[in-house]
Amino acid sequence: MIHIERLGIYLSKPVAFLIMVIYLVQSGLLVYLITDKFDLEKQIDYQQSRIIELEDKLKLYKVIEDLEIGFTDPEVTQLTNVIWNESKKYNYDPIFVVSVIMVESTFKKQQVSDSGAAGLMQLRPFVARSIAPRAGVEWEGTETLHESEANIKLGTYFLWEQILKHGDIKKGLVAYNIGETRLRDLIRNGQPLPLTYMNKVMSTYKRLKASYQV
């Protein structure tokens, strides 16, 4: 017999062993149920986040579909995905990126400015070439700027870089528009910043947010 002092009872070895086995089984089952419940909650949270993401992407698709000029349906889907992904990467609101594109090119894929800036986000080739490695884009000459996905990756990266360098979104947008060197010269000489471009982007952003309720 086994004398269990604290309980004040005597148990035979088989009974004590059986009690221990039952205890371990119950403990294991409890751990399994708790873990299973936790995993189920994680799956539910993941699915809910995916549903919200898909709903937001559909809204973004609708905005782009209404604004684009000369894109096929598959290309609109590609634009939606790249704008969404790059926005998440750099912590933009996707509609903000759409607003920059609207001001730059009005969503015309082959747009080229008098200064040689090209594509949806109107980047000059020498700028795009210099940032391509950092933006994760393979530079294959000026034609790269006419590839919508590459252009948006380059543009969103370049804007992000300017915002980081200058400390706020206003100066970042000004630098994106007039160039980093010119912005530094204006600041150094105490001259006012040209805000027309920045105001256009922000007013377009506000208009799109209100119109599409996104």
DSSP assignment of 10-55 equals EE-HHHHHHHHHHHHHHHHHHHHHHHHHHHHHHHHHHHHHHHHHHH
Distance CA 90, CA 68 (A): 23
With cut-offs at 50, 70 and 90, classify the pLDDT of residue 33: confident
Beta bridge partners of 11: 2
Q: Is 183 helix (H, G, I), strand (E, B) or coil?
A: helix
pLDDT band for position 136 (50/70/90)?
very high
Q: Which domain holds residue 172?
A: 2-212
- Say how many domains are in the chain: 1
Could you tell me the CATH number of the domain that includes residue 50?
Answer: 1.10.530.10
User: What pLDDT score was predicted for residue 1?
Assistant: 47
Pairwise CA distance, residues 97 & 89, whole Å: 12
